[in-house]
Each structure stands twice: as C-alpha cells, then as structure tokens.
Amino acid sequence: PTDSVSVNNGILVTRGRRWPLMIDPQGQANKWVRAMEQANQVAITKQSDPNFLRTMENAIRLGQPVLCEDVGETLDPSLEPILMKQTFMQGNRLMLRVGDSDVDYDENFKFYITSKLPNPHFLPEVCIKV
C-alpha cells in the first residue's frame, strides 16, 4: 500500500535498529516481506516448526533473511539473544549464541516476525525486545 502510514511503517521495518514484530491479521506485511526479500532467499519458518532453531542458525551463519510467521503473544525464549543482538567476539569472529551453540554471525542477517492476532497483548518483556 502507498498510504502514508504504510510508508512510515515500511521505513521503520527497514531502517530500525531492532527486529520488527508486525501485527498482520490480513497478511499484507507477510506478502511485502516475502516480495522484498525474495532475491535474498528469505527463509520462512514458524515457532512451531521442529527445525525452527536449525533454520535460524543457518540463516544467521549465511546472512540470510528469516520471516517467522504466526507468532502468538509469547516468543520462544531461545530467540532472546537474537532479538537483543547479543553478539560477541571469539578470536576474530563475530558470534551469536543460539540455543546451546555459538554460531558465526553474518552482518547481512535480517529477522522479521509477523503475528496474525488482530489485537495481541504482548508482555512488556516482549515489547522491549522488538
């Protein structure tokens, strides 16, 4: 959409310092992210996916964008280091802890989160991370 609110939201999503959590009951943001990151081979996953953490690790390592769809009102605790961008240096390598393993962090990694809930009530702990 080209209305001013959508344009402003697009600017916040692409230029913000934190990873965006988009409330998207109609699926517009989901389609937009898919189209925008298609050339970068966006990985699409859900928190309920059994390979969720493996998908995240591979995307972080390869600098690939990830779209996490249909989140509820709580986020997986293993996402905290990713959401807080808790990178650290190990030797001369930039690393990020995902689950119980340290993963090489590629600066090109991007993370998008969408929720289909029309009126979610996120806890303050979630709100300060996104």
Q: What is the mean pLDDT of each run of 10 residues along the chain (130 residues)?
A: 86 92 93 94 95 94 96 91 94 92 95 94 89
How confident is the model at residue 84, as a pLDDT?
A: 94
Q: In angstroms, what CA-CA distances link 27 with 45, 85, 97?
A: 15, 26, 31
Token duo for residue 83? 């959401």
In the chain, where do the E strands start and end?
21-23, 43-46, 65-69, 87-90, 93-98, 101-104, 110-115
The pair phi, psi for residue 67, each rounded to 5°, is: -115, 115
pTM comes to 0.93
How confident is the model at residue 6, as a pLDDT?
A: 87
How confident is the model at residue 123, as a pLDDT?
A: 87
How confident is the model at residue 99, as a pLDDT?
A: 83
CA pair distance 43, 68, nearest whole angstrom: 8
CA pair distance 55, 45, nearest whole angstrom: 8
Token duo for residue 99? 């689950």
How confident is the model at residue 100, as a pLDDT?
A: 86
